[in-house]
Amino acid sequence: MPIQGRPELRSFKALASALDSLPAKVRARNVTYLTVGSLNKDYRSAVLDGETVYVLSGDWSMIGWPDFFAEWGFVTWVSGPEELEQYLPPYSGTQRWVGRRMRRIL
């Protein structure tokens, strides 16, 4: 869908309008940027898949802000390892053993 037809464009225009209403001195010091990409933190992904990051600056960098704020309402935030364990399936001893060996190989 072209950007002109996307609903988040309304939110972007409101943010851009608010930024434009700032005093000139404040606007001159303002920096906005957005990074989009994959930051692979495990061994296999870093070596085999590589990493890609795209950096966007200026007013159009605010296009991702509506998604960021909407995420707060749609995501279940986990506060610790105990809570995370509730959402993960239980592992058998064999699965843990194989997983640890595979982690070293990969």
Residue 98 lies in a domain: no
Residue 101 lies in a domain: no
Residue 93 lies in a domain: no
Query: Is residue 1's pLDDT more than 60?
Result: no
Cα separation of 87 and 93, whole Å? 19
Per-residue pLDDT, 8: 65
Minimum mean pLDDT among 6-15, 54-63, 97-106: which range?
A: 6-15
- The predicted-structure confidence for 35-62, as pLDDT tens digits, reads as follows 887 776 666 666 776 677 788 888 778 7
Q: Span 83-95, mean pLDDT?
A: 86
Number of domains in the chain: 1
* Residue range of the domain that includes 18: 3-76
Q: Span 62-75, mean pLDDT?
A: 75
Per-residue pLDDT, 106: 66
